[in-house]
Amino acid sequence: MSQKTFLLVLFLVVMVVGLFIKNPFILNMLSLAALSVIVVIGLNLLLGFAGQISLGHAGFVALGAYISSILAIRLNINPWLSILIAVLVSSAFGALIGYPTLKLKSHYLAMATLAIGEIIHSIANNYVDLTGGPQGLAGMPMLSIFGFMLDNETKFYFFIWSLTFLLILLSINFVNSRFGRAYKAIKSKENAALAFGINVHLYKVFIFTVSVFYASLAGAIYAFYLGFISPSSFGLTQSIEYVVMVVIGGMGSFFGVFFTSVILTILPNLLTSLEDYWPIANGLLLILAMMFMPNGLKGLFKWIK
Count of residues making up the chain: 305
Most confident region among 30-44, 99-113, 166-180, 238-252 by mean pLDDT: 30-44
Per-residue confidence (pLDDT) for residue 40, from 0 to 100: 95
pTM score: 0.92
Domains and CATH numbers, the chain: 34-304 (1.10.3470)
Band of residue 248 on the pLDDT scale cut at 50, 70, 90:
confident
Q: Specify the higher pLDDT residue, 294 or 251.
A: 251
Helix residue ranges, H only, the chain: 3-20, 24-44, 57-74, 79-101, 106-126, 128-131, 153-175, 178-188, 190-195, 200-226, 236-249, 254-270, 278-292, 296-304
Greater confidence (14 vs 300) lies with 14
Mean pLDDT of the chain: 87
pLDDT of the residue at 296: 67
Closest CA to 73 of 17, 162, 140, 16: 140
pLDDT in tens, 149-204: 888 899 999 999 999 999 999 999 998 888 888 888 887 777 777 777 788 889 89
- What pLDDT does 210 receive? 95
Share of the chain above pLDDT 70, in %: 93
